[in-house]
Amino acid sequence: NDEAARAANNGALPPDLSLMVKARHGGCNYIFSLLTGYPEEPPAGAVVQEGLNFNPYFPGTGIAMARVLYDGLVEYDDKTPATTSQMAKDVVEFLNWTAEPEMDDRKKMGWKVMAVAGTLFALSVWVKRYKWTVVKTRKLVYNPPTTKAVRNPSSPRTEVHTEGQGFLK
């Protein structure tokens, strides 16, 4: 309900925070600082408009959202102390998950890709090492052609024969 949200936040409609982690520079750190950055009193010399709250991490230092996290606000099942910083960390991690719910699946897929790539790499090393040894150790010998002058008594001219041309294994 937008009207109830405006009434609870001094007339300002709260933004959709599902992508705020990715939208803001600093992401998780910015939101954590924003949630934990409300001092008890603004520092001396800080000017805050009426209806706004001082937060040094918000641009302009005046924010319509009041402080929402206080120590002991919730009880954790595992008896973790409910400090402002712990609750802010939980909120930030949840917002991080809502921004990228497929991240866990991508990480699992990444492990599978790395396993397949490692197997293919090992196979290529084996092929290079053992299957190409014949090519790598082959010795090529060049025998230059030799010419012999052979005289045929029945022919008035001398014939030239060449032998040993080409490469031999």
CATH number of the domain bearing residue 69 = 1.10.760.10
Q: Judge whether 39 lies within some domain.
A: yes
Q: Judge whether 74 lies within some domain.
A: yes
Q: Judge whether 58 lies within some domain.
A: yes
76-85, 97-106, 128-137, 140-149: which range is least confident on average? 140-149
Q: Judge whether 113 lies within some domain.
A: no
Whole-angstrom distance, CA of residue 13 vs CA of residue 17: 12
What's the domain range around 64?
A: 2-104
Of 17, 16, 40, 15, the closest CA to residue 28 belongs to 17
- Express as a percent the part of the chain with pLDDT over 90: 42
Q: Judge whether 52 lies within some domain.
A: yes
Q: Judge whether 15 lies within some domain.
A: yes
Q: Judge whether 168 lies within some domain.
A: no
Total domains in the fold of the chain:
1
Predicted confidence (pLDDT) at residue 39 exceeds the cutoff of 80 = yes
Q: pLDDT band for position 160 (50/70/90)? A: low
pLDDT tens sequence across 63-106: 988 899 999 999 999 999 999 999 999 999 999 999 998 999 99
Predicted confidence (pLDDT) at residue 50 exceeds the cutoff of 50 = yes
Annotated binding site for heme c: 65
Secondary structure element (H or E) that encloses residue 91, with its range = helix 84-99
18-32, 55-69, 119-133, 137-151: which range is least confident on average? 137-151
Annotated binding site: 65
